[in-house]
Structure 1
Amino acid sequence: MNKVITIGRQYGSGGREIGQKLAKYYDIPFYDNELITRAAKESGFAEETFEKAEDKATNSLLYSLAMGINVYGNQDFGFSGLSLDDRIFLAQSDVIRKVADEGPCVIVGRCADYVLKERENVVNLFVRASMSYRLQRAIVNYQVDEKKAADIIMKNDKRRRNYYNYHVGEKWADLNNYDLVIRSDMCGIDNAVKCIITYIGE
């Protein structure tokens, strides 16, 4: 398998767990929060700045700014008019391209499907599930308060949707943006992994 796998997912759908199992099966690196740590180290921004950026996104960033721009060394780099959030996205995008250059890997979230959209060796997945299934996973797997679970799911989905829409200019849940969409509530986590492996191949 010589592909980079990106995974978009609804909160509580098990997308991260599926990504981890795919990475283990193929024996390739797995990136999620690790991208934030690496981007922070290489760019000089604090990790907290990356984490907060997802909560602020509201509009669209031009595609040309998101592709191929190295903001390290000089953070202005001719784009002094960019907001801090946009600079954070560019720094993270640069790291995503770097890890993709290093070889096959699994990348969860971070608009990786968009950042790598011009590459041929990328498979973009989206994991979704029913609200009842996600509620159960949030309560059992994430120890979320049962009374707050629905609200937390909605807020996290909204945060991811806004972040994606802001930087990509397309709808996060538009399934046409992905090569394969998996309903984890219908097949379960392990069968979802098997289905993806069948789709991608060895």
Structure 2
Amino acid sequence: MRRIITIARDFGAGGSTLGRRLAKDLGIEYYDRDIILQTAKASAHLTPAQVRQWDERVPHEFGFTQSLFNFYSRPLSEELWNAQVAAIRQLAEHESCVIVGRNADYILREFDHTLRVFVHADKYFRIRHMQELMPDATRDQIEKDMLAVDRARQDYCTRYTGHLYADSRNYDLTLNTGKLGFDKAYELLLAAAKDIK
């Protein structure tokens, strides 16, 4: 039986860390930024550089003077979304895996044997965690980046899924790493992943 675990996350809450650990312990594939190359391969019109540019973002510069339209006159972001959907579905149809981000919870909403997880924490925990990962970055820069990434993910989710990002009704399990700590959060995640029906 295939197991698919999707992990949406707040920036700095540790969703990627938990996802990598889970994939390793379950002996299954882990996809995060790797999905970028899969997505680019799924589209005849996108290069990996274009995919990286729009990854989990809503373009702000729509207009006729911008070169965001492909051969079919669709915004590049629409092409990216469709390619990403195709890539994520193909992965889920063929193998067990952990997929972090990219609205995989929504894309795979009708798939069986799927656990949809959201990892979050309060602002101060996330800043401290990111300071540990990036000791050369200032607190102000981390906070600025955190707000920008969170907003980009929220906008991207709303635009393409019609759902509110971080709405607990869209997930099977939510984990507050700030309250639980990484070890306890991982223990709960692993137990839930092993029990996927």
How many percent of aligned residue pairs carry the same amino acid? 30
CA contact (8 A) 2:5 2:193 kept: no
Aligned residue in 1 for 2:164: 171
Cα distance in structure 1, aligned partners of 2:105 and 2:59: 18
Say if 2:7 and 2:15, in contact at 8 Å, map to a contact too. yes
Given candidates 99, 102, 105, the residue that maps to 2:91 is 99
Match of 1:40 in 2: 40
User: Match for 2:164: what amino acid?
Assistant: K
Q: Distance in 2 between matches of 1:151 and 1:22?
A: 29
User: Which residue in the other structure is 1:194 paired with?
Assistant: 187
Q: How does 1:140-155 map to 2 (within 5 A)?
A: 140-143=132-135, 144-155=137-148
Report what 1:55 is aligned to. 57
Q: Which runs of 5+ in 2 are unaligned?
A: 61-69
Task: Note the residue ranges of structure 1 that are not aligned, 5 or more in a row.
Answer: 59-74
Number of residues paired by the alignment? 183
TM-score (norm 1): 0.84
Contact 1:18–1:190 (8 Å) recurs in 2: no
User: In the aligned structure 1, how far is the partner of 2:59 from the partner of 2:159?
Assistant: 6
Aligned partners of 2:23, 2:114: CA distance in 1, in Å?
14
Residue 72 of structure 1 corresponds to which residue in structure 2?
Answer: none
Partner of 1:12: 12
SS at match of 1:170: coil
Alignment of 1:53-132 (within 5 A): 53=54, 54-57=56-59, 80-132=72-124
CA distance in 2, matches of 1:142, 1:136: 10
**What RMSD, in angstroms, separates the aligned Cα atoms of the two structures?**
1.7
